[in-house]
Each structure stands twice: as structure tokens, then as C-alpha cells.
Structure 1
């Protein structure tokens, strides 16, 4: 165990990660909204002298397990880090419900810890890569009214410079077409505000999960206790906080160079795995586009035909297009 590296957190362990000898996991403990919580920073051991890195942030009901993604960036000359946010994956603890969220802002502490630790490791410049809700988390973090330099001063720690953002199907808008979203946004917000402690639980396996996991004929073998096929219960409180964060973000401007990667079409509501696999089965890509254009002033897009919601988990042709899009964008990044 190490001494505290900031005013509010301390590292409690460091060990070889469950992904194998190429990965190290460091766990940090810090005060959460209600009790002590944990966050886990995972890093690939490759490129130890390189000063530029990728920081990956997962989505909702998710954790980092995509070893091939890490290896792709290592080959490009980057170090690779990923964070399992408090209440997710490696950071789940009995004292707090999985995925519980008092406010999107709470994940700023996880990101502060990740950035401060990466800087201690010698990283000077980073590109943030985030999927789904992780895209909203990092966008909210970067759009805070006080600068990252002020956060550094608060913790008396140096952070790497964030030189780019890559968004993998970010959850910047609710999963409805733009015209419908404009009509139902306020009713949904009213409902979740009136019943904040209601939790919806899926009775059946989510069809998107059937497109992914090997037990259903998919390609990926991840932990179903951390990324369950029925999902964790959907908290109305969580949904209210998502809506508030999306509304706030829509009124902010982020000028960091940003690449939005998304599927060509949405396949929400499709009845079969085959139909769902033709596009994003979770979010509406048109509303995602519109929301990104409101906030990001230095935005490029990569449209991936037949890309899944998590583009890296798509079938190989779409996955390769996604990786190529990020590779080309990074090469052009100054």
C-alpha cells in the first residue's frame, strides 16, 4: 500500500490484472457520496517510456476487458490506460449498489485519480477514448466551468494535457429520434424526478447482450457478473442525472479536437439478433449526432456501417473500420 497521492484518495493495492501479465491494476479508495468507494486504473505495461497515452472510459453496465483495443494503441506508439469507475467492474464493492450514481459529477474524482497517476507515470499528453455513458462522463468533466489547471491546483498534482477526445457511440442524448425527443424530453424528466427511487429490472436477456457474449453465440467472453446479460436495475435517479447532465452539456462548448465514431443506423427495437447487429441497438445515432454538434466545436465524424453500439465489439469488418478511423485521426492530430 502506498501513501495518499492526493488530498482525498489513497492507493490501496497494485497487482497483475485479471487480463494477464501484460496488464497491471491499481485500486484507489476515496470518500464517495455516501460511503468509501473505489476506482481501478488498469494499464498495459507496453511503451513504458512513451509520454503520450490513451485513457479509456467504459459505458453503463460495463468494464474494461478489450485487450485487443489496448494492443492496437500500443502498436501505434501510445501507452494505454483504462479506468473501471466507482461501482463498475473491478471497483464494485458490497457497500454500494453496482452502477449507483448520485450525480455524473462524482466520476470526476475517478478521472482526477487516473490523470494524476498517469502523470506520475510520466505521461504528459493523453487522448481520452470513451464509450456510451463514458462519453457523457468525460464530456461533462471537460466542460466543467473551472479549468483542469484549477483541479490540478486543488489536488496539488500535475495532470497530463488532454489533446484529443475520441467518442465511441456516446450517450449524449436519450435514445429517441430528434423530433420525438423534443416532445418527450420534459415528460420523461418529470416522471423520473417524481419517482427517483424506482428501479426497473429486465425480465429477459437484453437482445444487445445476445449479439456479444459467447454463451449466446457472440464473439466476446466477458464477466457476466460485471456486465450482466439482463443489465443491472435501471434506476430512475440515475436516468434523471443523465438527463440533467445531457441538458447541461448541450449549453457548453468544448474546443478540444474530437472524433465522434458511430454506427451508420440505429437498430433499437429490432426483434432478432441478426437485425440488431446491423447497427446501434442501444442509442439513436441522429440524436447523438445533433447533441455532439451542439457541444464540440472541433468535431470530426466516422460513420461505421454495421457497427454495434460498442464499435470495438462489432464483427471484424466494422471493427477494423473503427480502428482505422481512430488510427487515421490520431495520425492527423497535432
Structure 2
């Protein structure tokens, strides 16, 4: 991976976040691959004197809205931050299509901004939590040869220590079983490379969305303009970059302590909401695990019975199991460092 795209960013807003008085949002503008882009760092105001923090990175067609997740870590004594990456959620701008990227690597600058800001806030130690595509983004970022001291020198800003990585159903492989994926990975990559300007139009509301949003009978209320029930149009260029990042990542050997949490089964292709709610309705668990074993050398795995694709958005029993898994793992990491 090359060095960061630019050396400078500019804070353009600092205000109470839409999530309420316990959250603030800071927005930063910086040069993107084609035009100026924005990234937004949201943080819970709890534990302002703590020097340890969690940084949450969302998935595809997503943004941060899980207030209970933030409150959980605040109760554990951590500060909590979440980034809405360029082109997502709070950072969507008219100048670029939502969720668009030239390369997965470009999100490294969003993470640089987040981490440097957290250090300015007094955070010394960070554990990053990545969901779905956010897990791929963060893993790619950590795999880069552009080391922390070089980033600090490049930006002339200090960064906190990254002590660990927690992955919530990471998008480390395409959503097919391993035997199928081995046959079709390269043909799919060839097709999307030949047709980078094609899109798959988003028309139908997904069963996964129907398991989540309260308008369909789910538990959660979030902005459907930022996380549409039918998704955004799927760019073949975006898919090509995803496949490329996955292909490059499995060649790496990351030694950072890593927790992989995932559902116990995949429910892709199920025909009812009830069936979809029994597991991960978006990704294939076996292919995810296979990729994780190739990438991470200090890996702990936890399977969550009846966990949804976003484990935090699962029904209460699975949600509690997921939170407990992260709590236990963080306790173990703390003990290992003392």
C-alpha cells in the first residue's frame, strides 16, 4: 500500500450529533481521489479522561447509529468513537455517489484522521471494531507496510497505539460457500474488471432489511436514506475493488490480537424473515472463517447462535452473547498486557 493520499485535512464542523446530547460529531474535509470528500468522527462524551478507546467502523450501505453499543463500552471504562467513512451516512455529499470508492485503500485517510483526532483528545490506546466491509477496510489498513511512525511523520501528528482488532461478521470473502467460491472467484473478478462502469440496480427491499427496521416490524429505527432497505446501486467497480482487497489480504499475516465474532450459520437465500433471522443473511460463515485463518495469526473465534449479519442488531439473547464475547476478550487482552 502506498503512503496516505494527502497530508492535510480541515475540520469543518463540530456539533451535537443527531443521536443526542451524549454524542458529538466532528466533520473533516480533505482531498479525495477525484474531488474533496468528508469524513465524520462521532464520539460518546462519556469517560473524557480515559486514555483507552474503541473505534467503530461500519459496513457497506451503513453508518453509525447503535447508541447501545457505545454505551456498553463506556460502561466498561472506554471512550467510544465511530467513523462515518467518506461517502457514507453523515459524510455523504452531492459531489460523489454514496458508498463510491476508487480503492478500498483510500479509506486509510479516514482512519488516519480518526486516530490522529483521538490522540489529540488524549487517547493513547485503541481497539478497532470493524463490521462487514468495515472489517475488510480496517484489516487492509493494518496490513499496510506504511507503519505507524511513518504516518506520524507524514502528517506531523501523533497516533495512538492500536492494541487489537475486533471483527463483527467481516467481509473477508464473497458470500458463497468455499467450494463454490473457489470456482467462481476469478470469473467474477474478470467480469467486474471488464465492466467497471456497470451497476446492479437496487430495486427490491432485502429480507435482511426487513429483519431490522421498525417500519417492517424489526427492532431498529435508523435513517433509510443513509441505510436504504433496498441498498444502494451496486457498482461493479466497487465490487472489483472489494475482490482485489480480499485477494491481497489473504496473502498477509497479521499478528495483531484479533477477535472474530460471527453467527453460527449462514441464512443467505432463505425465503422468509423468520428463516433469515436464524443467522447471517448476508455472508457465508465458512468462507469468512477460511479467510480469517489465512490472514490472522493471533485469532480468537466466537460463534453467536442466531446472530444476524450485524451481530449487535440481533435479537437480545444473541446481542448479549456478542457483547459478552467482546467484553471477555478485552479483559483477556488487558490481563496479557499487565
Q: Give yes or no for TM over 0.5.
A: yes
Which residue is equivalent to 1:161? 161
Which residue is equivalent to 1:214? 214
Q: Which runs of 4+ in 1 moved over 4 A?
A: none
Within the alignment, does 1:123 sit opposite 2:150 as a pair? no
Which residue is equivalent to 1:194? 194
Which residue is equivalent to 1:52? 52
Secondary structure of 1:22's aligned partner: strand
Q: Distance in 1 between matches of 2:234 and 2:252?
A: 27
Give unmatched runs, 5+ long, in structure 1.
1-5
Shift of 1:135: 0.1
Q: Distance in 2 between matches of 1:247 and 1:320?
A: 33
Shift of 1:193: 0.3
Give unmatched runs, 5+ long, in structure 2.
1-5
| Corresponding residue pairs, total | 329
Q: Distance in 2 between matches of 1:106 and 1:166?
A: 21
Q: Distance in 2 between matches of 1:186 and 1:313?
A: 33
Shift of 1:148: 1.8
Q: What is the root-mean-square deviation of aligned Cα atoms in Å? A: 0.7
Q: Distance in 1 between matches of 2:52 and 2:152?
A: 19
Q: Deviations over 1:124-183 (max 9, x none)?
A: 000000100000000000000221221111111110000010000000000000111011
Which residue is equivalent to 1:312? 312
Within-5 A mapping of 1:236-275: 236-275=236-275
Which residue is equivalent to 2:110? 110
Secondary structure of 1:70's aligned partner: helix
Q: Distance in 1 between matches of 2:16 and 2:203?
A: 36
Q: Distance in 2 between matches of 1:207 and 1:173?
A: 21
Which residue is equivalent to 1:16? 16
Which residue is equivalent to 1:3? none
Q: Distance in 1 between matches of 2:310 and 2:148?
A: 28
Secondary structure of 2:212's aligned partner: coil
Secondary structure of 1:82's aligned partner: strand
Q: Deviations over 1:40-92 (max 9, x none)?
A: 00000000000000000000000000000000000000000000000000000
Within the alignment, does 1:332 sit opposite 2:332 as a pair? yes
Structure 1 length normalisation: TM-score? 0.98
Shift of 1:203: 2.2
Q: Distance in 1 between matches of 2:296 and 2:10?
A: 34
Within-5 A mapping of 1:36-115: 36-115=36-115
Shift of 1:7: 3.0
Which residue is equivalent to 1:296? 296
